[in-house]
Amino acid sequence: MTADTHHSPKRLHFSNSETPQPLAELTVKADTSTTLLGRPATVCIIGESHYLSCPPLRYFELCSCAPLRTDAVTISLIDRATHSFSFENELISADTVVTIDSMAPLPAPETVTLAHRFGERAWTLLDCQEGSVETYHSYPEHDRLVRSQTTLRANDSL
C-alpha cells in the first residue's frame, strides 16, 4: 500500500451507499465477479484498499486511505479498536464491523476470493460468501491488521 500511495496512511475511510463509485476514478489492482444474496457483484482491490459493487442490491462499499467525497466513517489506523456501522435501503440491511489490531497471520491468498500483495508484508484480501464480505488489510509500517466484516440481510421487499 505504501508503494502505491508513497506515504504511510494513518486513517481509513469507509463508505456504504446506494451510489456507485466510478471505477475510472479508482486504481484497480485486481477484481473478480461474485454473488451476494444471489445477485451479481464485483469486488475490487484498489490502490487505496477495496471496493464492492452490487448494483441489483443498490449497495456499494468503498474503503480508502484517501478521503472520500461521500459520507464516510473515518477510522484511525494507529489505535487498536473495533468500530461498527450500518447501512439500509429498501432491499437490504448491512452491518459492518472493523477491527484494528496488531499484525497477525493472514488467510492464505489461495483460500480467499481475491488477494493482492502491495509489499513484502502488505496485503489486501477479500473473502466473499453468499451474505457477507470479509476483508483483511495489512499495514506493516504501523504493525496493524485491519479486518472488516460486512454482513448483508435481505429486507422483505427483496
pLDDT of residue 48: 67
* pLDDT of the chain, 158 residues: tens digit per residue: 434 444 567 899 999 999 998 777 788 999 999 999 999 999 999 986 899 999 999 999 999 888 877 788 899 988 999 999 999 999 999 999 999 999 999 999 999 999 999 988 899 999 999 999 999 999 999 999 999 999 999 998 76
Taking the C-alpha atoms of residue 115 and residue 81, their distance in angstroms, rounded to an integer, is 24
Taking the C-alpha atoms of residue 135 and residue 51, their distance in angstroms, rounded to an integer, is 10
Grid cell locating 43: 469486488
pLDDT of residue 2: 37
> 5-42 burial, b if ≥16 CB within 10 A, otherwise e?
eeeebeebbbbbbeeebeeeebeebebeebebbebebe
Number of folded domains in the chain?
Answer: 1
Q: What is the domain extent for residue 9? A: 2-154
Q: What are the residue ranges of helices labelled H in the chain? A: 2-5
pLDDT of residue 5: 41
Taking the C-alpha atoms of residue 130 and residue 148, their distance in angstroms, rounded to an integer, is 16
